[in-house]
């Protein structure tokens, strides 16, 4: 067996686990409950009830599905940003940049457990939708829906990796995170049909995570098959690759600049 490959896989797993435990701010039960259970429930109820009031009860599933998929951004943006930026905030950035370990394994590992956590959040969102708001999943291929959730979580985590790198050079990353999160509520189609938006907003939405994932989830829940949503899934996966690649390139550039300037503790 290829020894460097085994070492990189072990580094990926160990780094992912340790960074999640050491740098994740939601590991306290009260903080996790508030951020990953109560807040998502409030978001789904708020936008669904508001949408039902404005457009009728028959459109409830539109808002439930959109906001359930939108929850991937909670872990994908906030969680991943915390794990990447936490190295700076907690003073471990010099050790990260000083180690000869594989950078890709270290960088991608920061998102691994947040991807799993994000998928769990979507499942919880659908659970609330079924139990409280009557979401009908009887015509849904659950394996296909699970694949959509995975790909959508990957794309939002890719954006989180990019924003996590920005947290290495700014102290206002949470302001940026909040801005991006709420912009996604508008541009992703979670709460406003994309075809009702101006053309420039529709075009901008195509370059963002969640847009195609939400559309694919609505299609599958309506009874369409995996073959019908392959183009949407392919586009969402491409978004994930692009944002992750940009984040990694930025991470390596920041490391180079920090070493050139001798400022490993703060870029």
What secondary structure, in 3-state letters, does 96-117 show? HHHCCCCHHHHHHHHHHHHHHH
Q: Is residue 161 part of a domain?
A: yes
Phi-psi group of 91: left, alpha or beta (phi > 0 → left; psi -120 to 50 → alpha; rest → beta): left
The residue with greater pLDDT, 89 or 50, is 50
Q: How far is the C-alpha of 256 from the C-alpha of 259, rounded, in Å?
A: 5
Query: Nearest CA to 236 among 160, 155, 181?
Result: 155
Q: Look at residue 9 in the predicted model and tell me its pLDDT.
A: 78
Q: Is residue 238 part of a domain?
A: yes
* Rounded alpha-carbon distances, angstroms, from residue 239 to 62, 141, 156, 208, 232: 23, 24, 9, 7, 11
Q: Look at residue 103 in the predicted model and tell me its pLDDT.
A: 81
**Number of folded domains in the chain?**
1
Mean pLDDT of 196-213: 93
The domain in which residue 251 lies consists of 3-261
Q: Is residue 178 part of a domain?
A: yes
Instruction: State both tokens at 219.
Output: 């299609």
> Is the confidence at residue 23, as pLDDT, over 80?
no
Q: Is residue 266 part of a domain?
A: no
Mean pLDDT of 167-181: 81
Mean pLDDT of 139-143: 92
80-89 and 103-133 helices cross at what angle (nearest 10)?
140
Q: Look at residue 215 in the predicted model and tell me its pLDDT.
A: 95
Q: How far is the C-alpha of 44 from the C-alpha of 212, rounded, in Å?
A: 19
Q: Is residue 134 part of a domain?
A: yes
Burial 26-35 (b: 16+ CB within 10 A, else e): beeeeeeeeb
Q: Look at residue 155 in the predicted model and tell me its pLDDT.
A: 95
- The HSE-up count of residue 129 (CA atoms within 13 Å, CB side) is 27
Q: Is residue 267 part of a domain?
A: no
Q: How far is the C-alpha of 20 from the C-alpha of 26, rounded, in Å?
A: 10
Q: Is residue 247 part of a domain?
A: yes
Whole-structure pTM over 0.75, yes or no? Answer: yes
Residue appearing with tokens 């590991």: 27
Instruction: State both tokens at 39.
Output: 């807040």
């Amino acid at each position: 067996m290829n020894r460097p490959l085994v070492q990189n896989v072990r580094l990926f797993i160990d780094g992912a686990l340790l960074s999640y435990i050491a740098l994740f701010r939601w590991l306290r039960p009260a903080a996790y409950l508030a951020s990953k259970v109560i807040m998502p429930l409030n978001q789904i109820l708020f936008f669904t009830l508001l949408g039902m009031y404005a457009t009728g009860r028959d459109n409830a599933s539109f808002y439930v599905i959109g906001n359930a998929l939108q929850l991937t951004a909670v872990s994908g943006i906030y969680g991943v940003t915390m794990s990447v930026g936490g190295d700076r905030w907690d003073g471990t950035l010099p050790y990260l940049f000083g180690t000869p370990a594989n950078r890709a394994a270290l960088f991608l590992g920061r998102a691994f457990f947040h991807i799993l956590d994000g998928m769990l959040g979507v499942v919880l969102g659908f659970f609330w939708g079924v139990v409280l708001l009557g979401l009908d999943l009887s015509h849904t291929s659950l394996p296909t829906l699970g694949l959509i959730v995975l790909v959508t979580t990957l794309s939002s985590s890719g954006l989180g990796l990019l924003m996590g790198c920005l947290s290495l050079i700014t102290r206002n990353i949470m302001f940026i995170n909040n801005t991006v999160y709420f912009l996604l509520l508008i541009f992703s189609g979670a709460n406003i049909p994309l075809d009702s938006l101006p053309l420039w907003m529709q075009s901008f939405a195509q370059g963002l995570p969640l847009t195609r994932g939400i559309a694919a989830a609505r299609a599958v829940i309506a009874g369409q098959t995996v073959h019908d949503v392959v183009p949407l899934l392919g586009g969402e996966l491409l978004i994930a690759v692009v944002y992750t690649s940009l984040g990694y390139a930025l991470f390596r550039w920041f490391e180079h600049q920090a070493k050139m300037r001798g400022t490993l503790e703060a870029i």
